[in-house]
Structure 1
Amino acid sequence: MRSNGGPVIRADIYVRISQDLTGEEQGVARQEESCRQLAADLGMEVRHVWTDNDLSATKKNVVRPDFEAMLASKPEAIICWHTDRLIRVTKDLEKVIELGVNVHAVMAGHLDLSTPAGRAVARTVTAWATYEGEQKAERQKLANQQAAQQGRPYTAGIRPFGYGDDHMTLIADEAAAIVEGAQMILAGESLTAVARKWDEAKLQSPRSKVTGAKGWTLRGVKKVLTSPRYAGMSTYYGEVIGEAQWPPILDPEVHYSVLAILNSPERFSGGKRTGRTPGTLLAGIGGCGYDGCTDTVNGRGYRGVPVYGCKDTHTRTPRSIADDRASKATLARLMFPDFLGQILETQNAQEGQSGAQLQSQAKELRERLDGLAMAYAEGAISLSQMTAGSQAIQKKLETIESELVSTAGIPPLDPVKGVAGLIEGWPTLPLPTRRAWVDFCCIVTLNPAKGRHLTSMSVDDHITIEWRDVSD
């Protein structure tokens, strides 16, 4: 019983930390211990302990599962280590206020949310916490940018594969694996082969030790082999802005050659990976239109007719109809006046000075290629001179163009023929390139027959096309 003779209050404990790099939950355990001591001092019983470990309370679109579950359980009182562990933004405070319960904090005292005065104090405290959080984020962003410009590593996150916890010291076996993986790609081997090699050597991704993932994914291998950091380059938000202070693992020539290979049009699938190279235009791209189905479709046969269908066969759309409509919609989008202009404008704004410099260098190299051909035609240089010069320039041009493609986020586009060439040569373009452009321009949905015979359905009955927003 409490000292005033009333019933014992059963309080809920809420603990949270934003970042748990080790995954051992030591931070939340220490908070819980202090909160239990406070509960005992206040004469309260602990009903339940709610834990959101390694979760921010200020990032947008981040849901704290135990926080929401605690609110839904209607606690009699809440105990936390500090109020900023419980609430950091106003919208969360209002959720707690709706409960009308007392909040006790080990380090920040008592908030009585059952009275107007208490709620006013809580709102003021939360407003200042939000302000400080935003100020801290801006200071941290500036500090990170300055560190990147000076070539210093960002050490707050998980260490990169190949480097130690200081993000500077080489780990010999991991560095050797990166070099070997790059050489495998240059020799024509696949990302799958590299992933298998690293798994067989029992080299684990540092991130997998936290997430619990087993083995290397193709995305993970590619991210390592194409990251500028391994060529000794410092980046900020994906843009190279200086020379790094840490030792490089790959020579720049090797890095750019691997980058060119892994981002070449021949490897561009344009859709979700299905475990094999897609053999149809809309496999892994077109979505099933059946209510509640979230699968993409794949090519298959139905009574001798090539069709698309999801794994549960909600739809059997003839491939000829779907491919023709998707191709026409893509070409129409490409010809629409606002489309590529807005893309290039957005791309230039994102790439900034670095992208403009790459474009300028690529233009200069193409002019040099034209100059060599003209010089040979006029007899100023020999065929061997033109061939050797062209090969050297072309190699450098391919490197620059691969870097532009990898940063622009748009599918392969011939820099000489441009959009006109893309439209004119559409039927003969490689399938991966056509798939890439369809997925880039359109959202394709293949609709179920709903009891109708396929031959009685119009094209619009079979397939729905939405143009993607340029800003996406």
Structure 2
Amino acid sequence: MALSAEATCAIYVRISQDRSGEELGVERQQRECQELATRLGLHVVRVYVDNDISATSGARRPEFEEMLMDRPRSVIAWHQDRLLRLTSDLEKVIQLEIPVHMVTAGSLDLSTPSGRAVARTVAAWSQFETEQKALRQRASNRQAAANGHWQFSLRPFGYERVNGDIIVLDSEAKLIRDGYRCVLRGDSYRSVAKRWNRLIERWDTPGFRPVMGGTWASSRVQRLLENSHYAGVVTYQGEPVELPPGKAPQWTPLITKDTWRAFRELKLARKTKRSWAVSPKHLLSGLLECGVCGGTLYSHAQDQTTRKGAADAGKARLPVLDAAGRRVKHTTYVCVDKHCVSIRADYVEALVGEVISLKLSDPRVVQALRTTDDSAPLEAEIADLHKRRDDLTDMIGDGLIPRERAREKLNEIAGRLQSALSRMERLRSDSPITDLMLSDSIPERWSALPVLARRRAIVRLGLKLTINAADKGKRTIDLATGQVHSERAWAMRRVAWNWDGDGGGGG
């Protein structure tokens, strides 16, 4: 015998979070809802399933919305909070004016005023409970962050949680450090992704693949490297959390704070107008301040000019041409906002090299920098290992230790020394300041550093340079003294510099 339309129903099941992806929660709900339908003598015409979707997050529930459009004769849910948790959802169901049956909470007849009143009351308290739970959860997460904890459900690349502890996965950690090194030397996210995908093709081990599988794309690499937790920076809702004294991150950082600071300056800051390029060509573009309007100076290619033959051509100056007849240009830094000032790049860049060398030649400055630098203990470790190796060699020569035992000791020391030297090399590549301080000649090393590394050093040391306006009158004559200056000396008179406001100097 065919059932009437009134004897039909729809089942709705939902689970907020399906960690395993196996939909076991919705299967249990569906089975018990089916059993209730049988007891009520209702025929199930369709089952609507929203898996891993929270009803309180505001996210759209596609199956729930489709059920409303289908207008079933009645609905069965495991519990009212599976069907709806927000009062706005209840009003949508009320408009259907149908009975709603729950496995664990009885039935509601939404076709009557009393049934609707009960449903609204239950929904209001469900929403209250949900909001209170969210407040408690946020407070708990905020407290956990303040204690240095890292909250995550899906494990981050480079780490895994074992018995409550966050453990470093060495193979993935090496890949992350490689990514930062590549980006800081000027490589794009796309080139890093290609580099890592080649490793997957060659070795095909889990240590090279993303957590969710597949291959690397530039967007995946970017999201990975923008995670501040790799530098030991605790965050809550995307904002850094200042830890109280005595508290530290509850995991081992994979990169240094200097590496993270450099990455932020060179990559994250690029989202703002006129921020640094990935591979800057000009040392001070974007780092100079206009002394007239406070704007920023950027690089600009200008023609070199000469007065030779200019008068015969009826001009003040003529462009300089090379042997092939092309115009010779030089780089100038120009105030782009109001064109207040400009200065030859080679003049001011030479000054920067001089003041950086002067700064790092001051023992007091070096000592202050060493308090936040990891190279000092590493230097001491390397020196100690060298001494132990030399002492052991002397003991072998004097016959004070058997050669077999000495060979074992030497191999052990050689391994530890190689490891320490590798760490020192990584430290120097991560920090141009450390690299400069450890060099035999700061001026020579400064000249050899890439533009990107020199810019990082300028920012790290807090060097600020302001280009002031030139005096009126003839460009190379001091109107007060009548002294004649070279063009470079005249230009350098306009440069003022200081270290984050701690003292200053001039050209």
For 2:60, the aligned partner's letter is V
Paired position in structure 2 for 1:45:
43
Q: Secondary structure at the match of 2:168?
A: coil
Q: State the one-letter code of the partner of 1:116.
A: P
The range that moved more, 79-88 or 391-400, is 391-400
Provide the residue aligned with 2:256 in structure 1: 251
Match of 1:232 in 2: 232
Who is 1:385 aligned against?
358
**In 2, distance between residues paired with 1:415 and 1:23?**
57
Amino acid at match of 1:115: T
Aligned to 1:168, what secondary structure does the other structure show? strand
Gapped regions of structure 1 (runs ≥ 5): 272-330, 333-372, 374-380, 402-413, 418-472
Which AA in structure 1 matches 2:155?
R
More contact order relative to length (CA 8 Å, sep ≥ 6): 1
CA distance in 2, matches of 1:35, 1:382: 78
Deviations 1:86-124 (A, max 9, x none): 111111101111111111111211111111111100000
Q: Is structure 2 residue 459 aligned with structure 1 residue 398? A: yes
**Residue of structure 1 aligned with 2:159, choices 158, 163, 168:** 163
Q: Relative to structure 1, is the Cα distance of residues 72 and 246 closer, same or farther in structure 2, using a 3 angstrom cutoff?
A: same
Residue equivalent to 1:105: 102
Cα gap change, 1:382 to 1:24, in 2 (>3 Å): closer
Q: What residue identity is the alignment partner of 2:105? A: A
Work out which of the two has the higher radius of gyration on C-alpha atoms and give 1 or 2. Answer: 2
Secondary structure class of the residue paired with 1:20: coil
1:216 alignment partner in structure 2: 216
Deviates more, 1:215-224 or 1:68-77: 215-224
Residue of structure 1 equivalent to 2:112: 115
C-alpha contact 2:77 2:83 (8 A) present in aligned 1? yes
Structure 1, residues 360-396: CA drift from partner, whole Å, max 9, x if none? xxxxxxxxxxxxx9xxxxxxx9984246579959847
Q: Contact (CA 8 Å) 2:262, 2:456: kept in 1 or not?
A: no
Q: Partners in 2 of 1:233 and 1:114 — Cα distance?
A: 55
CA distance in 2, matches of 1:383, 1:10: 82
Structure 2 residue identity aligned to 1:100: E
Which secondary structure state, in structure 1, belongs to the residue aligned with residue 159 of structure 2?
Answer: coil
C-alpha separation in 2, matches of 1:400 and 1:118: 71
The 8 Å contact of residues 10 and 46 in structure 1, kept in 2 or not, is answered as yes
What does 1:254-293 align with in structure 2 at a 5 Å threshold?
Answer: 254-263=259-268, 265=270
Q: Take 2:359 and 2:75, find their aligned partners in 1: how far apart are those partners?
A: 79
Alpha-carbon separation, structure 2, partners of 1:197 and 1:382: 38
Cα separation, 2, equivalents of 1:235 and 1:399: 23
Give the distance between the partners of 1:270 and 1:16, measured in 2 at CA: 48
CA distance in 2, matches of 1:400, 1:89: 54
Alignment of 1:48-447 (within 5 A): 48-60=46-58, 62-155=59-152, 157-165=153-161, 168-202=166-200, 203-206=208-211, 208=212, 214-241=214-241, 242=243, 243-263=248-268, 265=270, 384-386=357-359, 395=456, 398=459
| Partners of 2:100 and 2:109 within 8 A in 1 | yes
Q: Which amino acid aligns with 1:221?
A: V
Question: Following TM superposition, by how much is the alpha carbon of 1:139 offset from its aligned partner in structure 2, in angstroms?
Answer: 0.4
Shift of 1:82: 0.9
TM norm structure 1: 0.55
CA distance in 1, matches of 2:28, 2:124: 27
Quick one: distance in 2 between partners of 1:235 and 1:22? 27
Q: Which residue of 2 aligns with 1:36?
A: 34
The CA deviation at 1:218 is: 2.2
Q: Distance in 1 between matches of 2:14 and 2:174?
A: 39
C-alpha contact 1:8 1:43 (8 A) present in aligned 2: no
CA deviations 1:139-172 (Å, max 9, x no partner) are 00000000111111213x3211111145712222
What are structure 2's unaligned runs of at least 5 residues? 201-207, 276-336, 339-350, 366-431, 434-453, 468-507
Give the conservation status (yes or no) of the 8 Å contact 2:5–2:73.
no
Partner of 2:21: 23
Deviation (angstroms), 1:264: 5.2
